């Protein structure tokens, strides 16, 4: 289903993000997680993309398996890193053949384990990828006449590569205007950052839906991993203080993290968020607890498949 159809509904969307497994054992864990969360019928799930080709085939396989064997609506990531136009066109054709409705166009992380020269990439920035997908949509290769719905990343705390926040918003405005249909934000822990970002988007005449990215802290090691993944996420003193009180009790740390994320979600819903996107790290426990606590009904009516 095209993202424009999903976002047209009155209620906010709820969605999950997964990353492709790297081993058979991880694959079984992931598919169990997907089965655990399928009964909630999220509006969509997104699947991450490995830098430099490390998990790209796994992404394609996982997306197609989800599309063909579950009732879930997958949104695959596409990145600029280590890609030429022919490769991206082939991926888009593959996804169009499987009636994938949407993609998320990202700059992507630099690969850590292989030599990398950004100047060799056909797409230097996410805006170039957005423009390419928009041109592809006009080719008529997708079964939906509108082509793919296109999402882009937003950064409530600011893009780490552009410290000048005025220039950053100019770049972001150009990226959205190039053809984005929706925005999914980087994770954040202070809702004031999200609300301010949403207001700055409105001032910049950006009016596509903005979906808030939430990642519950489930362990102290996970906290450090989040700090690394997010490239400078701010952790409010309130959260750090609560975690420090119980840092030697893993179960309590998980409860604190879930409670904090739950409070974030309540506040976002009270302030008319367009959607909430949960970064699951391929685990369902915390997400299920938050869903149940928010009173989100299970087994929403399954959407009709795109034909």
Sign of CA dihedral 209, 187, 108, 288: negative
Q: Is 17 marked active-site?
A: yes
Dihedral over alpha carbons 225, 116, 153, 16 (to 10 degrees): -50
CA distances from 300 to 4, 26, 72, 277 (A): 19, 28, 11, 17
Check if the beta carbon of residue 20 is closer than 8 Å to that of residue 50: yes
d(CA 307, CA 305): 6
Closest CA to 108 of 78, 134, 131, 149: 78
The one catalytic residue in 9, 17, 168, 199 is 17
d(CA 230, CA 208): 23
SS3 state at 139: coil
Check if the beta carbon of residue 3 is closer than 8 Å to that of residue 181: yes
Phi, psi of 61 (to 5 degrees): -65, -40
d(CA 216, CA 198): 21
DSSP state of 297: P
- The set of catalytic residues is 17
């Amino acid at each position: 289903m095209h993202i424009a159809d999903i976002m047209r509904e009155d209620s906010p969307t709820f969605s999950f993000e997964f990353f492709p497994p790297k081993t058979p054992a991880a694959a079984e864990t992931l598919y169990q997680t997907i089965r655990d969360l399928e009964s909630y019928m999220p509006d969509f799930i997104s699947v991450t993309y490995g830098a430099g080709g490390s998990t790209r085939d796994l992404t394609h396989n996982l997306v197609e398996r989800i599309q063909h064997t579950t009732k879930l609506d997958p949104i695959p990531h596409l990145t600029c890193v280590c890609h030429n136009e022919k490769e991206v066109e082939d991926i888009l054709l593959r996804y169009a053949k499987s009636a994938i409705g949407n993609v998320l166009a990202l700059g992507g992380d630099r690969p850590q384990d292989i030599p990398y020269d950004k100047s060799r990439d056909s797409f230097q920035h996410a805006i170039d990828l957005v423009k390419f997908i928009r041109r592809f949509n006009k080719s008529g290769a997708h079964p939906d006449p509108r082509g793919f719905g296109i999402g882009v990343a937003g950064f409530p705390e600011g893009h780490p590569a552009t410290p000048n926040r005025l220039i950053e918003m100019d770049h972001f405005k150009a990226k959205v205007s190039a053809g984005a249909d929706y925005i999914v934000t980087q994770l954040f822990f202070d809702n004031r950052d999200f609300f301010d970002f949403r207001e700055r988007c409105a001032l910049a005449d950006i009016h596509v839906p903005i979906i808030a990215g939430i990642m519950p802290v489930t362990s102290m090691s996970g906290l450090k991993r989040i700090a690394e993944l997010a490239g400078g996420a701010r952790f409010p003193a309130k959260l750090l203080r609560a975690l420090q009180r119980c840092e030697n009790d893993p179960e309590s740390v998980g409860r604190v993290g879930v409670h904090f994320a739950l409070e974030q979600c309540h506040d976002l819903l009270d302030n008319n968020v367009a959607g909430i996107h949960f970064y699951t790290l391929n685990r369902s426990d915390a997400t299920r607890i938050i869903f149940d606590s928010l009173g989100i009904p299970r087994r929403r009516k399954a959407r009709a498949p795109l034909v």
